Structure 1
Amino acid sequence: MGLVLIAAPAVEPISLADLKARLSIDHDLADSLLTTLIAAARAAVERMTRRPMTTQTLRYTLDRAPPGGLVRLPVAPVQTVSAVRVADATGALIPWPGALQLDLAGEPARLLFAGAVPLPGVPIGGIEIDIVAGYGPTADAVPEPLRQAVAMLAAHWYANRGDAPSGPVPDEVTALTAGFRLLRLAA
């Protein structure tokens, strides 16, 4: 099983101008570094919480048919499932021919393969689910505590840049993200 990014978010949860204001930077010399730090901080907070912030597409790969045809999607919030492919008898991935039911009511969201589930013996990586996830297409859609966590982490990395490692994630970032962490459930 794996989860990979296939379409990156179009916007970050905080802007370059927001981070520069937080750091009291009024020049453009560090813009490239700050932009990189914002993206890295967003990715780190997304990994900590298992929550994509702004709209992006992820591919979830399964190695076997889900028990009872029910898949708990590994991220939240899920907007939709854009594609489901399964391996055929030759091992080629083809669109899932049956019905699917997506339940977005709870977290984690669930996907039900209605009718017959993929056959046992699916090869490793033989089921792919493309998930469109995130709070929305704009930074304003992201909850403020998560936006603050990204800003604090990027600012921390900027303040501690250089040859020495910057140390662990600041306690404030951990505290801001704690209530958003998506728990991993056993299958």
Structure 2
Amino acid sequence: MVLVLVREEAGVLGASLDELKEYLRIGGSGEDGLLERLLRSATALCEQFVGQWLILGEARATVLADGGWQRLSARPVAAILGVEAVAPDGEAVALAADAYAIDIDAAGDRWVRGQPLDGRRVLKVRYQAGMAEDADGLPEPIRQGIVRLAAEHFSARESEVATPPAVVGALWRPWRRMRLT
């Protein structure tokens, strides 16, 4: 059970401002702030829909050190950067690689397992997760869906309701990973 998940980088963009402006046929820079916020929002909605982080970023997870396997929440995991055993008073001690175990399952999820160490029953795991290093590395349908969703929200700002186009879900669906609990 993951007790806490923290994403170090917030507000990443899954498509560029230039892509959105080209799609909307906007030449000036007067709307840039609004357009960037819409891209951040569309990127976050895409990540929620596909169940994966789009852009590679660092995560910190706090998991139990009870000898059982604990799934890391952010996906896809690219690398484990370090594991620390945490005392009840918050003092952390870095663990050697042979003091914990990591595994990857058939679905591509990473798992970590550690034993209690000197009364330390919690592990702090630092790792990287994400599909691509930057927006240019994302699959084109994902980027196009982000642009389409941001453009829809931009166009609907004068109306009462912004309804996402069905094509956005169709573009993202092949990358969707869901967990059954």
Superposed CA offset, 1:29-76 (max 9, x none): 1111111111121112112222111211122233x336x532222232
Aligned residues: 177
CA shift at 1:175, angstroms?
Answer: 2.2
**Aligned counterparts of 1:182 and 1:73: Cα–Cα separation in 2:** 14
**Aligned counterparts of 2:31 and 2:96: Cα–Cα separation in 1:** 51
The percentage of aligned residue pairs carrying the same residue is 30
**Aligned counterparts of 1:97 and 1:163: Cα–Cα separation in 2:** 57
CA shift at 1:89, angstroms?
Answer: 5.2
**8 Å contact kept, 1:60–1:129:** yes
Tell me which amino acid in the other structure corresponds to 1:143.
Answer: P
SS at match of 1:128: strand
Superposed CA offset, 1:87-144 (max 9, x none): 225443332355244445743332343xx6236x867xx3322221112323222122
Runs (5+) with no aligned partner, structure 1: none
SS at match of 1:150: helix
Counterpart residue number, 1:154: 150
Counterpart residue number, 1:127: 123
**8 Å contact kept, 1:102–1:109:** no
Runs (5+) with no aligned partner, structure 2: none
Counterpart residue number, 2:86: 87
SS at match of 1:84: strand
Is it true that 1:96 corresponds to 2:95 in the alignment? yes
**Aligned counterparts of 2:159 and 2:5: Cα–Cα separation in 1:** 32
1:1-187 map, 5 Å: 1-8=3-10, 12-62=13-63, 64-65=64-65, 68-88=67-87, 90-97=89-96, 99=98, 100-104=100-104, 106-113=106-113, 117-118=115-116, 126-162=122-158, 164-167=160-163, 169-186=164-181
Question: CA distance change for structure 1 residues 162 and 58 in 2, over 3 Å: closer, same or farther?
Answer: farther
